[in-house]
Structure formats: C-alpha cells, structure tokens
Structure 1
C-alpha cells in the first residue's frame, strides 16, 4: 500500500519534469535541389555532445566559420574552415563532406579520415542543425548563415537539446568577439571581425 501511494504521489512530479513535447529529429531528405542550398558561408553558433573527443573540441573552439563549395563529384562538397581555438585562428581547406542521398547523411572527411557523420535536421533554410550519428553519445550542433540567430531559432535548437537530455550548462557557444578575419569576397564577410 505504501509503495502504491508513493508511486501515485511521485507520478505528478515525474510527469512535471518531463519535457513538454519532444518532436522527433526529422532529417532533411536530400535531392538535387537540396545540396546547392548548402553552398556558401556558414557560422558555427553552438553545440553539445557527450562524446569525449567532441566535447574537448567544443570547449576549445571560440569561433568558427566555414563555407561549402562544389566538390569534384556531385555528391561531394569542399569545406574551408576558419577556426579560433584558444587564441589562434587557423584556416583549413583539406576536408570534404560526402553527401549520401539514400540515407540523408553527411560525412565529414579530413585527410581521408571520417571525422564525423551527421544528419541535417529539418529547420529553417538558413540553419544547419546537425545530429551527429556515428557515435553512441547524443551530439547536436547549430550553424547559421549569419553569426547571430533569432530568439525563435535559438529556442528551437534548445528544445531539441532538452529532448536529447542536455542541460544549458552542457551547451558550448561561440562568440563574435572571438571572430577571425574572413577571406575577402566571402558571402556575409565582415572585415571588422578579428
């Protein structure tokens, strides 16, 4: 009887702490019109992961901008990354993204090594919400066409994080004040960054 009473009294508290509504992370279905929409400049905004190597990288990166350009094949994108880790800005252009249309997966390859695998989650066309899937740990990142996102877009991302069990303390954000100079002519480039 006491166990039943404890169960009934504890149930409302357990239900109250559940996320209000968790919609599933629905991947974008890639087709010939989707991939060109990925081309151009993007700014990494925030990320959360429980995978130790990703977690170490999230802690170290204070700014990242990247751009996708067409690769040598239609299912491949070249990436140029500009990253500030600690106090140093580094430009890398040795990696590629392979697009697997059949399972809506993006595979980041750096020097012929797979560094991550993700699915692009359905959202606004100016956002890249990536659900990293080649690991047994939850991991989600947000990038956008501009270094700032709207309150609504940030709330959408935070809702996804909450549904994956992340707390605000587990989310790492980049900062515009740590921005690196972007190459001239890049879309959305701001010569004052740096």
Structure 2
C-alpha cells in the first residue's frame, strides 16, 4: 500500500468515526434559544416508534460550530445509515456509509441503547457517551436532537436522497430556534451518494470498502 493510499484510508476512517458521532450525538455548539420559536417535540418510544426508525436513512443536513465537525465536512460529500434490531429488545445496530472525497467507507456499529423513559438513543464506543432524542416529524424523516455535555443541536435524515421544500424549511426553523444561521447548515450532495453494500453497484462507481 502506498503512502497516498494509507493517508486516504486514514482520512476516511477519521471522517467515518466523526460521522457516526454526528448521527448519534455529535457535540453541537450550545446557543441561546431564539424568542418565539417552535422547538421540535420528542417522540415517545414504544412498540410503534422503534420499528419506525429501523431501515435505511440518508443524511441530509445539520448545523454545528464544533471545530472537528467543521473539519469533517470539508471531506465528507454524503452519508447514509441503516438501523437494525440489536441483540436485545431495547438495542439497535447500525451500518454507516460515507463518501470521503472519492472513497466510500462502510462501518458497522452495535449496542446503541434505547432508553424508553426519556426517549433517548445512547452509544458508547471508546468515546464519551453520545445521546440523541428522536423528534416528531413526517414518517419519512428522522430529526435527531443531539446532546453531549453542554452542547446540543439537530440533524435531518430522510428515506429518500432529498426532501421537500416544506420539510426543509421546517428543519431550518428548528435550527434557527437554536441560534444557528442558515449559512451554518451543512448539506450533503445527493449526486455523491454511495452505492449501498446490499445493492448491486452500477459500472463506474466504486464499491464501499469496509473500514
């Protein structure tokens, strides 16, 4: 393996780790809530909620002032992830797929805990615990409110590679409510979505590489 290939795989691994933290609770800069804004409402975990979040999601947008996140977005072009039932009833596993520059990387994660009493998802993987609440939204959207120490924020994912203008404006209003500007929202590129590991890839596109 050449030095160039080694550096590319190292960068891909770093971005993959940062993306996973983002999806499950990346530290977001805590800002003062804007006056007269509407906060998203957490869902109540139950028999109907958990199946709703299973399956494949495309990462659409988020906002952050965290330096590591800002550095990550320079290289990340698209990300998607899938939730699967875990080994226990209140546990999920996940597969995350990220395009870093021109490379697609796949990471499998186990042991995402669901705490039904406070509607949170928690993951610990040699890192401080990262938490996220699932917010009420359209059934084809996944809005997560993230918590880490004194930081918080939102991310938006969808079943499809894009969302309607109305749903995007709704998400922007929630982000503004946390004090972020529209210029601080990071959007992924639909055209850079990676081929899914379980789908047959079409000619010319690079297959995801396990981390």
**Which band: TM-score by shorter chain?**
0.7 to 0.9
**Matched residue, 1:66:** 81
* Corresponding position: 1:75 with 2:60: no
Contact preservation (8 Å) 2:120, 2:131: yes
Q: How far did 1:95 drift?
A: 4.0
Match of 1:164 among 167, 170, 178: 178
Q: How far did 1:57 drift?
A: 3.0
* Corresponding position: 1:124 with 2:143: no
Cα distance in 1 for residues equivalent to 2:56 and 2:152: 26
**Matched residue, 1:46:** 61
TM, length-normalised to structure 2: 0.73
Q: Give the length in aligned residue pairs.
A: 173
Task: Flag the 1:191–1:120 CA change in 2: closer, same or farther, 3 A.
Answer: farther
Q: Which runs of 4+ in 1 moved over 4 A?
A: 18-21, 189-194
| Bigger mean CA offset, 63-72 vs 52-61 | 52-61
Larger Rg: 1
Q: What is the DSSP-based 3-state SS (H/G/I as helix, E as strand, rest coil) of the residue aligned with 1:72?
A: coil
List alignment gaps of at least 5 residues for structure 1: 1-17
Contact preservation (8 Å) 2:129, 2:148: no
Contact preservation (8 Å) 2:141, 2:156: yes
**Relative contact order, CA 8 A, sep 6+: which one is greater?**
2
Cα distance in 1 for residues equivalent to 2:124 and 2:188: 23
Q: How far did 1:52 drift?
A: 2.9
**Root-mean-square deviation (CA), in Å?**
2.5
Q: How far did 1:115 drift?
A: 5.7
Q: How far did 1:22 drift?
A: 1.0
Contact preservation (8 Å) 1:119, 1:130: yes
Cα distance in 1 for residues equivalent to 2:127 and 2:45: 23
